[in-house]
């Protein structure tokens, strides 16, 4: 593509673009959008969960109408040419997109095959392929993973491979849809730094979709906000949007960056309720191997009634594996896991599921029915709910989790944040003794994160034991106890306040301080975070 020098060269022009998953005149998702993205600009796209950010990304990159059903009007031009005039697949080489759910973009078995496929499509000569793959894997922190099977990677590792694949495309424009959602805190910072470097080197146009702008502030020059009503609510410089126009974000329930926000830290939002001393779940001497790799080594921990325990650690540390073992979905190679002093293996499956709720890292792995309502009532039916009770319980959950308008929608056709809320809501129909959540708040805007946490904290106050796997250090800060996993071993288990003093451990486990401490302490004083 021939490009002119200069900062204001338009790369993508959106002219009066409207889109609907149904008919365009009935409730369009966005309506008459008009904006231009320039070469060498980094733009942040913000909006409440469900506002239409991912859908817009798919339209911009030409995946509509090929890959998504719906109706649209208006035009999108790439370097002045209407995107509908591009050959099939041509535009996807020019506008690289990293999807919100990285699993949806893979088509090969191993990491190397996936990346080689991208390079072969670009007609890169075979002898150069290996070297390029090695270099890109190093850049995203996945050196040596060439022969690993993609479906056997951890969530964050998959996200890193998806990023590597798009970087290999060397596109003119990058669209990144919540690219750091599953990355550990330091990997997330490293990735943002990498995007900045590549953007500068290649003068790319980058569009980032993120709920939390904080770590991107040094990179972005412009912010677009789409409202729940499908209108473009703002198109401005970050400094102005986050100050003079911040009420737009507040009204839409969007996170203000911490540097511009005076809202209290998460840990101050909920009254501190001391957990009981009653052990609900105990893990003793647990070891677990996947293939020949020992993923967990001699792990012991307890979770008490009314306690919020968070498990943290770098991508691939073994967090999701530990949670699945705690839920009885995998069997330990050594050690025991007991619920109320009875090993999990001695429980009837039906009783175990009544007493414990489990939310998968990827919400789609959990969905088994065709509508939001059926999904919510599936467990209730198994547990013998009466019809009227079931209807009102499901209504209550849909109301709480902003899913009422999607009652009859297919769970797979929800937005990322809506899927996450549905997967959390499905385990709340009963009041179990323990809830295990794998990254429950990812993909949420400020308002829905707070509502979800309010709900969970109310359950904790009732005495329910809660375990989170999370990369969100502000949520860690609000927990009763934090367990740090490092290469499958427990490296720390105590109050979060004690962890924040352990600079070396934070660094080794690729963690960060929560925002309230980052604000007051120069992070670099504790350790040199990005090398
Ligand atoms: N394939 C689909 N069919 C029908 N409706 C859909 C489909 N995909 C998404 N939607 C609906 O379109 C709306 C916008 O979804 P989209 O994923 O674009 O939102 P988003 O702003 O990216 O949200 P989030 O921040 O939660 O990821 C949502 O209400 C969603 O339920
Ligand atoms: N199904 C599987 N088969 C083989 N190995 C696996 C499988 N699932 C995960 N692993 C490996 O086990 C290790 C731990 O994975 P796990 O998903 O528990 O990590 P995690 O701490 O949850 O990571 P993340 O923060 O990226 O989600 C990783 O090295 C991963 O590659």
474: containing domain: 268-362+432-526
Report which of residues 530 and 447 the model is more confident about.
Answer: 447
Q: Are residues 357 and 210 in the same domain?
A: no
Helix 111-121, helix 126-139: angle, nearest 10: 120
Q: Are residues 298 and 216 in the same domain?
A: no
List the residue whose alpha carbon is closest to atom 24 of ligand 2.
315
Ligand 1 atom index nearest CA of 56: 18
The reported pLDDT for the residue numbered 15 is 96
Q: How far is the CA of 320 from the centre of ligand 2 (A)?
A: 7
Cβ(1)–Cβ(95) below 8 Å: no
pLDDT more than 70, % of the chain: 96
pLDDT higher than 90, residue 472 = yes
* Contacts with 220 (C-beta within 8 Å, 6 or more apart), sequence order: 42, 43, 44, 208, 213, 238
321 lines ligand 2 (CB under 6 A): yes
Report which of residues 95 and 3 the model is more confident about.
Answer: 95
CA–CA gap between residue 477 and residue 496 (Å, rounded): 6
User: Which of 26, 29, 55 for a ligand 1 pocket mutation test, highest count of atoms within 8 Å of Cβ?
Assistant: 55
In-domain check, residue 184: yes
Report which of residues 384 and 221 the model is more confident about.
Answer: 221
Mean pLDDT of the chain: 90
141 lines ligand 2 (CB under 6 A): no
| Two tokens, residue 389 | 């009770």
Q: Are residues 351 and 207 in the same domain?
A: no
Cα torsion angle, 68, 72, 77, 81, sign: positive
153 lines ligand 2 (CB under 6 A): yes
pLDDT higher than 70, residue 141 = yes
Q: Are residues 277 and 251 in the same domain?
A: no
pLDDT-derived band of residue 4, with 50, 70 and 90 as boundaries? very low
Tokens 């190093």 -> residue: 138
Among 191, 224, 255, identify where a domain stops: 255
List the residue whose alpha carbon is closest to atom 8 of ligand 2.
152
In-domain check, residue 405: no
In-domain check, residue 424: no
Q: Give the model confidence (pLDDT) of 415-428 as tens digits.
A: 999 999 999 999 88
* ipTM confidence: 0.95
pLDDT-derived band of residue 1, with 50, 70 and 90 as boundaries? very low
Ligand with minimal distance to 255 CA: 1
Q: Are residues 353 and 282 in the same domain?
A: yes
List the residue whose alpha carbon is closest to atom 1 of ligand 1.
413
Q: Are residues 195 and 332 in the same domain?
A: no
Cβ(253)–Cβ(226) below 8 Å: no
Residue 270, CA atoms < 13 Å, CB-side half-sphere: 24
Q: Are residues 63 and 38 in the same domain?
A: yes
CA–CA gap between residue 191 and residue 525 (Å, rounded): 22
pLDDT higher than 80, residue 50 = yes
Among 234, 255, 276, identify where a domain stops: 255
Q: Are residues 76 and 206 in the same domain?
A: yes
Radius of gyration of the chain (CA): 23
Q: How far is the CA of 493 from the centre of ligand 2 (A)?
A: 21
Phi, psi values for residue 154, rounded to 5°: -75, 165
In-domain check, residue 27: yes
In terms of DSSP bridges, do strands 42-46 and 205-209 run parallel, antiparallel, or are they unpaired? Answer: parallel
In-domain check, residue 260: no
The reported pLDDT for the residue numbered 288 is 97
Q: Give the model confidence (pLDDT) of 290-342 as tens digits.
A: 988 899 999 999 999 999 999 999 999 999 999 999 999 999 999 999 999 99
pLDDT higher than 90, residue 212 = yes
State how many domains the chain has. Answer: 2
How many other CB atoms are there within 10 angstroms of residue 210's CB atom? 21
The reported pLDDT for the residue numbered 522 is 54
The reported pLDDT for the residue numbered 531 is 35
Beta bridge mates, 207: 43, 175
Q: Are residues 197 and 295 in the same domain?
A: no
Q: Are residues 333 and 439 in the same domain?
A: yes
In-domain check, residue 61: yes
How many other CB atoms are there within 10 angstroms of residue 434's CB atom? 22
CA–CA gap between residue 116 and residue 131 (Å, rounded): 11
Q: Are residues 227 and 279 in the same domain?
A: no
In-domain check, residue 305: yes
Cβ(468)–Cβ(311) below 8 Å: yes
In-domain check, residue 292: yes
Q: Are residues 251 and 343 in the same domain?
A: no
| Two tokens, residue 232 | 């473009």
List the residue whose alpha carbon is closest to atom 14 of ligand 1.
52
Tokens 């904006």 -> residue: 35
102 lines ligand 2 (CB under 6 A): no
Across the range 229-237, mean pLDDT stands at: 94
- CATH code of 201's domain: 3.40.50.300
Across the range 174-178, mean pLDDT stands at: 94
E strand map for 262-388? 279-290, 293-304, 308-312, 334-339, 342-343, 356-359
CA–CA gap between residue 510 and residue 507 (Å, rounded): 5
pLDDT higher than 70, residue 506 = yes
pLDDT-derived band of residue 140, with 50, 70 and 90 as boundaries? confident
pLDDT higher than 80, residue 471 = yes
The alpha carbon torsion through 233, 239, 245, 251 (nearest 10 deg) reads 70
| Two tokens, residue 305 | 């009634």
């Amino acid at each position: 593509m021939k490009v002119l020098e200069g900062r204001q060269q338009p790369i993508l022009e959106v002219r009066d673009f409207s889109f609907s998953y149904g008919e365009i005149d009935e409730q369009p998702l966005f309506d008459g959008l008009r904006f231009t993205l320039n070469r060498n600009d980094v733009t942040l796209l913000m909006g409440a969960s469900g506002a239409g950010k991912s859908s817009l990304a798919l339209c911009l990159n030409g995946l509509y109408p090929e890959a998504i059903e719906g109706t649209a009007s208006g035009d999108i031009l790439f370097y002045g040419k209407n995107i509908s005039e591009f050959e099939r697949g041509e535009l996807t080489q020019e506008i690289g997109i990293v999807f919100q759910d990285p699993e949806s973009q893979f088509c090969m078995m191993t990491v190397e095959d996936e990346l080689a496929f991208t390079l072969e499509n670009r007609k890169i000569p075979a002898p150069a392929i290996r070297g390029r793959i090695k270099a890109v894997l190093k850049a995203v922190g996945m050196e040596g993973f060439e022969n690993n099977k993609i479906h056997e990677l951890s969530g964050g590792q998959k996200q890193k491979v998806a990023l590597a694949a798009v970087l290999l495309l060397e596109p003119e424009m990058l669209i990144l849809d919540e690219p750091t959602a599953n990355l550990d805190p330091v990997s997330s910072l490293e990735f943002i730094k990498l995007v900045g470097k590549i953007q500068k080197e290649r003068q790319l146009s980058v569009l980032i979709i993120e709920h939390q702008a904080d770590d991107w502030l040094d990179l972005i020059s412009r912010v677009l906000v789409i409202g729940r009503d499908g209108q473009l609510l703002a198109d401005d410089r970050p400094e102005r949007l986050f100050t003079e126009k911040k009420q737009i974000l507040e009204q839409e329930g969007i996170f203000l960056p911490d540097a511009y926000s005076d809202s209290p830290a998460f840990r101050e939002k909920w009254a501190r309720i001391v957990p009981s001393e009653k052990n609900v779940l105990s893990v003793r001497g647990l070891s677990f191997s996947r293939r020949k790799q020992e993923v967990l080594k001699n792990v012991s921990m307890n979770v008490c009634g009314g306690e919020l325990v968070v498990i943290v650690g770098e991508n691939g540390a073994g967090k999701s594996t530990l949670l699945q073992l705690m839920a009885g979905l995998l069997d330990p190679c050594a050690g025991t896991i007991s619920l109320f002093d009875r090993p999990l293996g001695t429980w009837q499956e039906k009783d175990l599921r009544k007493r414990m709720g489990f939310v998968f890292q990827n919400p789609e792995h959990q969905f088994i029915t065709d509508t939001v309502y059926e999904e919510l009532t599936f467990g209730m039916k198994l547990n013998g709910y009466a019809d009227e009770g079931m209807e009102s319980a499901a209504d209550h959950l849909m109301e709480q989790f902003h899913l009422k308008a999607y009652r009859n929608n297919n769970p797979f056709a929800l937005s990322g944040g809506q899927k996450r809320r549905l997967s959390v809501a499905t385990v709340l129909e009963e009041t179990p003794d323990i809830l295990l959540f794998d990254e429950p708040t990812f993909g949420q805007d400020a308002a829905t994160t707070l509502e979800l946490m309010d709900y969970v904290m109310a359950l904790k106050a009732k005495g329910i034991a809660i375990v989170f796997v999370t990369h969100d250090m502000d949520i860690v800060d609000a927990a009763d106890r934090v367990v740090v996993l490092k290469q499958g071993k427990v490296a720390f288990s105590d109050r979060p306040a004690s962890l924040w003093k352990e600079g070396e451990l934070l660094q080794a486990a690729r963690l960060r301080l929560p925002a309230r401490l980052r604000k007051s302490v120069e992070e670099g004083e504790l350790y040199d975070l990005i090398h």
